[in-house]
Chains A and B, each alone.
Chain A
Amino acid sequence: MMAGIAEKAAVKPHKKQTEFARVMKQLRKNKVAMAGLIVMAAECLLALLSPWIIPYDYTAMDMANCLKGPTAAHLFGCDDMGRDIFSRVLYGGRFSISIGIIAVSISTVFGIMIGSVAGYFGGQVDNVIMRLLDIIQAIPGMLLMIVISAVLGPGFINTVIALSVGSIPGMARMLRAQMMKERDNEYIEAAQSINCGRVRIIVNHLIPNCISPLIVQATMGVAQTITMAAGLSFIGLGVQPPTPEWGAMLSGSRQFMRQAPHLVIFPGLAIAVTVLALNLLGDGLRDALDPKLKN
């Protein structure tokens, strides 16, 4: 009679499967997303190792080869100051990619903090926070970035700040929406019933369960940010020449577009390939994180 209590049936040997492992497994099935991941990983590696692998110093000027096209010696040719474009594109990856990653990380972190307070407490707190975010979002993104960048001045850190502020409301809203859905779940009530404080509930239980859409948004956001950073540099704000940030390189090459298109093509390709890889990876992550699309 009491025999039903312990399980007599053989327990299948348990394979520990964390969420991360599951997501990676799903992702591996998506060839296109894996391609994106590999390309990004390669780019990051190249950017990290660039000081040691670039054939020429990225500031070294060789006026004899000014504006010459791709040759065996200079794979991507030289720019108007005789600098090797290949070296500059590789080294510039450090700036462009890190701007993207740092700006998105900042907006994600702040977005999570603001969104969780708004989402968990609701009511007046939520109201006030949302209205403040509304104000920021009411200003067109590009315009906001330009204004902040103009106020703070050019430079790497200032550009990062300008780029991150505009994305914070989007992240915050996303987290808030997820949180409002999750907080009514029974496991949150269970956490309350065992005396978990509010902070513990938010940090330990709610945020880990709400974070999936933000991961996808962050991945795509890096791509967007790189593009926008390039845009800022292009109009003379953000990172300035001679820093080999890809957008700055585009900006500096405007006058030479007709006669020496390679000045524009290679940095432009670098941006395009990066953005494409990130978008494909982001799409793949979105599918992998959605438990309903398991098959």
Chain B
Amino acid sequence: MSENKTENKNMPFLSIKDLKVEYMSDGQAVHAVNGVSLTLERGKTLGLVGETGAGKTTIAKSILRILPDIGCHIRQGEICLDGDNVLTLPEHDMRKIRGNKVSMIFQDPMTALNPVQRVGEQIAEVVQLHSDGKTDSEARAKEMLEIVGIPAERYYEYPHQFSGGMKQRVVIAIALACNPDLLLADEPTTALDVTIQAQVMDLIGELQKKYNTAMLLITHDMGVVAQVCDDVAVIYAGNIVEYGTKEQIFDHPSHPYTVGLFGAIPDMNEDEIWLHPIDGLPPDPTDLPQGCAFSPRCKYAGEECQKGPIAIYETADGHHCRCCRVDEIRKQEG
């Protein structure tokens, strides 16, 4: 495995190729992820933006291979982490990666911690699992608590004695205790108040810079993306519909869905009576339309949009858009 690493110095740290994941629910196949490809360099942050059911969490869980065993299949694809295809590794090797090389911050801090175990012990646990018995896990846990801004004496307290924001900090401490190379953050601040969100995002940003951790940030909040991400991937119905740097996506959104998302956000500076929602509802993942999954809701949709799977068009310098009418749309909108 180590020989591969020197060869692949030019390869991105994380590379997902054509990932397809399906769930079985009530006898029907739920197409959660439909051919997603993305890359991430060391130390960079990729924002994965989309709405509920788009497949973002499934992608993160696939990287860690913590999808439910029953009823969930990774149909195809490759997830290369530092040269190794994670999907083909034996479980024994995966366990060495989880929490150590790759860790995850879950969405709901209220339920992410074990209510009957002391907070410090939960951090120490991850250290113990990945050390060779040489590291003093308690000391490291206390160190991590201080790093996330919690006094070390609170090592011995239980989760219910902490507020939501502090619980999330503990979750961050657990995630970063072993200096992972990749952090998967699944909506880490959605459940928090906006002032606490600001604190927590700052903390994550600081620690990320300090340890040069790459981050895959899953969120539906464009504001958070604007704050911390380098690159952005917009995902709809299990497919990446637009992909580019933050500047490309925010200054020149090309896919009608991305444009719609920005349009639906109430503008802080304008006074409008009516918002501009995207018509209709997200598609049923058991019954995705032929062709472009967004076409039933798209005001630019034409016949070719429903014919078959839409290819990705690279518009400029790495700005990808999965829309066959992107040039016409650009001309129309000026």
Contact = CB atoms under 8 A, between A and B. Distances in A.
B317 interface: no
Given A9-B281, A12-B284, A2 B274 contact: yes
Q: At the interface, is chain A mostly helix, strand, loop or mixed?
A: loop
Contacts of A2: 274
Given A2-B274, A9-B297, A295 B25 contact: yes
B71 A295 contact: yes
A101 to B, nearest CB: 33
Nearest 8 pairs of A and B residues by beta carbon:
A9-B280, A4-B277, A1-B274, A295-B71, A9-B281, A8-B279, A8-B280, A3-B279
B70 A295 contact: yes
Interface string B20-35: 0000111000000000
Contacts of A9: 279-281, 296-297
Interface of A: 1-4, 7-10, 12, 294-295
Contacts of B274: 1-2
Interface in B255-292: 274-281, 284, 287
B25 A4 contact: no
Nearest to A9: B280
B215 to A, nearest CB: 31
Contacts of A4: 275-279
A57 B71 CA distance: 55
Which of A2, A7, A9, A294 has the largest count of B CB atoms less than 10 A from its CB?
Answer: A9
A129 to B, nearest CB: 29
Contacts of B275: 4
25 contacts: A1-B274, A1-B276, A2-B274, A3-B279, A4-B275, A4-B276, A4-B277, A4-B278, A4-B279, A7-B280, A8-B279, A9-B279, A9-B280, A9-B281, A9-B296, A9-B297, A10-B296, A12-B284, A12-B287, A294-B25, A295-B24, A295-B25, A295-B26, A295-B70, A295-B71
> Per DSSP, are chain B's interface residues mostly helix, strand or loop, or mixed?
loop
B63 to A, nearest CB: 23
Given A2-B274, A9-B281, A294-B25, 15 more contacts: A1-B276, A3-B279, A4-B275, A4-B276, A4-B277, A4-B279, A8-B280, A9-B296, A10-B296, A12-B287, A294-B26, A295-B24, A295-B25, A295-B70, A295-B71
B281 A7 contact: yes
A2 B158 CA distance: 50
Contacts of B297: 9
Q: Among B24, B70, B276, B279, which residue has the most Cβ atoms of chain A within 10 A?
A: B279
A1 B71 CA distance: 41
A222 to B, nearest CB: 30
A9 B295 CA distance: 11
A150 B297 CA distance: 75
Contacts of B25: 294-295
Contacts of B281: 7, 9
Nearest to B280: A9
A132 B296 CA distance: 63
B299 to A, nearest CB: 10
B201 to A, nearest CB: 30
Contacts of B278: 4
A193 B275 CA distance: 30
A294 B281 CA distance: 25
Interface in B279-315: 279-281, 284, 287, 296-297
